A and B are shown apart, each in its own frame.
Chain A
Amino acid sequence: MRFFKDLKAGDYVILAITAAFLGAVWYQLAFQINYNWDWSGIPSFFVYYDEETGYQQNVLLIGFFNLIRIAIYSSILSVILGLGLALMRVSDRRWMNWTARVLVEFVRNIPPLVFLFIFYFFVSDMIFPVLGIRAFAQMLANSDSAVVGFLFGDRVFVENLIAGVICLSLFEAAYVSEIFRAGIESVGKDQREGARSVGVTKYQEMRYIVLPQAFEKTVPPLVGQLITLIKDTSIMSVISIQEFTFAGSEMVVSSGRIFEVWITVAVVYFIICYALSVYSRRLEIGRTGR
């Protein structure tokens, strides 16, 4: 009840305004516009119960699992690529420095959507056959193993998933590399000079002195980047990668439940991202003790 004692006049005013506003919106949504709300079918879009086959995954749940898969694989791959780019960026060899810089600046200055379009239709045609990824995906698709199904989802979409993971990783790697670069550069010059004077090689200096300290600083921004990555997976629905937002739009078309489906999709993304951001804040507190 202490809470109520702290409320001042201003609080009541704001509460009144907010309530009136939300009330008006709700009224409009519920009664004014020509739309029949029907939430009853939504759970079945996740898990469908059939008398004969029992419970089975439905479109939204499958899309959700693909979202998780893409998020995990992309984050791993983008961290690897990003680290490589960052090392190039801080390298003393100028061609490495410039190349990395140009690549990173290119990726960071175009919209994610445009990047995905270019790379999905271009790179997937260029790099995939050359690297035998198509053959690899085919092989995975043909092996009926449960492990493959768990790791990659529906075997029909293995190549689609891999393409999505690679495109997204290339994109996010540019941002990850900037995080690593900031971390590396924040390790004081005196550390590196001290190391050099003791006779440590560049590689050893990187590996044993700079990177460990850099990593510590980069973890919270990396979690932030992971949240951004999860949100960016939704843009891939525009290029027909079978992830959660695409599943959502399929269900919208098939069922006509525009409002219910999109609100549900938003809630799911929110739960995942909010949980991660809470975790990131805990990390921050744990690290700085504040």
Chain B
Amino acid sequence: MATSSLQTALLRNVKDVVIFLGIFGLLALGMLWVLDQQSYDWQWFRLWRYVYIEHDGQYYAGPLLRGLFTTLEISAYAIVISAIGGFVIAMMRASKLITARAIAKTYIEVVRNIPILVLLFLIYFVLAPVFGLNRFWAGVMTLAIYEAAFAAEIYRSGIEAVPRGQKEAAKSIGLRPLQVMFYVTLPQSLPFILPAMTNLMINLVKHSAIVSVIAIFDLTNEGRNVIAETFMVFEVWFAVAGIYLVVTTILSILASVIENRTKRFYAR
């Protein structure tokens, strides 16, 4: 059934499909033509060596794949730290203590209003020597600190989205504030928080490209190194962009799967 409806849909939209493919075809042709004018030396065949290497039947990751693993590694640490850190900040933000609120608000405002590159330079040059962070952890902490501010806002709106009645009902049956938070508010805020947090994850992976500037061998950095060695500028950049697209697409799919699961769990 699915196939035939797809076929009929396609036939109905033949004109649209043709125009759509035509546009991108023109774009591709245009790009090739311009690069020909520049007598650019396309060397696609050399690209594969940088993605993976085959040796004696064993597959080794080439520089680009190694870079991808580093990117994923940094992102994974940063996500965990920023999820926890963001939660702490959000709790401080909602706290009754004035100082806690003030610190949280200051943190959020400062981090959200400076560019991530400048934050990276500050952490790497100024703070890393103080805390003895090496390059890798300076990058992880920059990403974590930056995204934690956004995570805190996500937690906040998620919590505020839970109807007040729930909190009051919980208090009226004698639960203490902390119990209200953990057993009533948080679980119900999940359907609001989870989609936004997966969005944050995707943003974090995208922002991770910036750590290439401080010589961390992530995907972008390896891409730049390969270009500096071989001058295959466009092949490499397209490959790198493609890999990022694959990663973010996978994350988005994961996100919708999680979203559907939780929505079903909380179906009203």
Residues of A within 8 A of B (CB): 3, 6-8, 10-11, 14-15, 18, 25, 28-29, 32-33, 93-95, 98-99, 102, 106, 109-115, 117-118, 121-122, 125-126, 130, 227, 230-235, 237-238, 245, 248, 258-259, 262-263, 265-266, 269-270, 273-274, 277
Identify 8 residue pairs between A and B in the complex whose beta-carbon atoms are under 8 Å apart, listed by A's number. A10-B97, A29-B126, A32-B130, A110-B245, A111-B205, A266-B119, A270-B110, A273-B114
* In the complex, number of A-B residue pairs with CB atoms less than 8 Å apart: 149
Q: Determine chain A's interface SS by DSSP, over half rule.
A: helix
A9 to B45, CA, bound (A): 68
Set B117, B127, B248: member contacting A237, Cβ < 8 A: B117
Q: Which of B115, B245, B248 has a CB less than 8 Å from the CB of A235?
A: B115
B39 an interface residue at 8 Å Cβ cutoff? no
- How far, in whole Å, are A273 and B238 apart by their CA atoms in the complex? 33
Residue of B whose beta carbon sits closest to that of A25: B130
B121 at interface (Cβ–Cβ under 8 A)? yes
Task: Give the docked Cα–Cα distance between A11 and B97 (Å).
Answer: 6
Cα(A7)–Cα(B20), bound, Å:
64
Query: Cβ of B98: which chain A residues have Cβ within 8 Å of it?
Result: 3, 6-7, 11
Binary CB contact string for chain B from 1 to 35 against chain A (1 if under 8 A, 0 otherwise): 00000000000010111011001100000110010
A148 CB, min distance to chain B CBs, angstroms: 28
In the assembled complex, the Cα of A15 lies from the Cα of B20 at a distance in Å of 61
When the two chains form their complex, are residues A94 and B116 in contact, meaning their CB atoms are under 8 A apart? Answer: no
Taken together as a complex, chains A and B put the C-alpha atoms of A268 and B116 apart, in Å, by: 14
Provide the bound-state CA to CA distance between A15 and B103, in Å: 9
Any A CB within 8 A of the CB of B196: no
**B114 touches which one: A93, A121, A231 (CB < 8 A)?**
A231
Complex CA gap A12/B38 in Å reads 67
Q: Is B129 an interface residue (CB 8 A)?
A: yes
Residues of A contacting B31 in the complex (Cβ-Cβ under 8 angstroms): 122, 126
Contact of B202 among A11, A109, A227 (CB under 8 A): A109
A-B pairs with the 10 shortest C-beta distances? A111-B209, A273-B113, A234-B115, A94-B16, A95-B19, A231-B115, A109-B248, A126-B34, A28-B130, A95-B16
CA distance A230 to B112 in the complex (A): 12
Q: Is A112's CB under 8 angstroms from B112's CB?
A: no
List B residues 31-63 near A (Cβ within 8 Å).
31, 34, 38
- Interface pair B115/A232, CB less than 8 Å apart: yes
In the bound complex, CA of A269 to CA of B202 (Å): 25
Name the A residues within 8 Å of B118 (CB-CB): 234, 245, 248, 262, 265-266, 269
CB of B151 to closest CB in A, whole Å = 17
Q: How far is the CB of B116 from chain A (nearest CB, A)?
A: 7
CA distance A205 to B252 in the complex (A): 34
- Residue-by-residue, is B108-141 near A (CB-CB < 8 Å gives 1, otherwise 0)? 0110111111110110011101100000000000
How far does the Cβ of B225 sit from chain A's closest Cβ, in whole Å?
13
Q: Is the CB of B114 within 8 A of A270?
A: yes
Q: Are B244 and A114 in contact (CB under 8 A)?
A: yes
Residues of B within 8 A of A237 (CB): 117
Query: Within the complex, what minimum Cβ distance (angstroms) separates A103 from chain B?
Result: 10
Assembled-state Cα–Cα distance A265/B117 (Å)? 11
- Known contacts: A18-B99, A269-B118. The answer to whether A110 contacts B126 by CB under 8 A is no
- B142, CB-defined interface residue at 8 Å: no
Seed contacts A95-B20, A110-B241, A273-B114; 6 additional CB < 8 Å A-B pairs: A95-B16, A106-B245, A109-B248, A113-B220, A114-B237, A114-B241
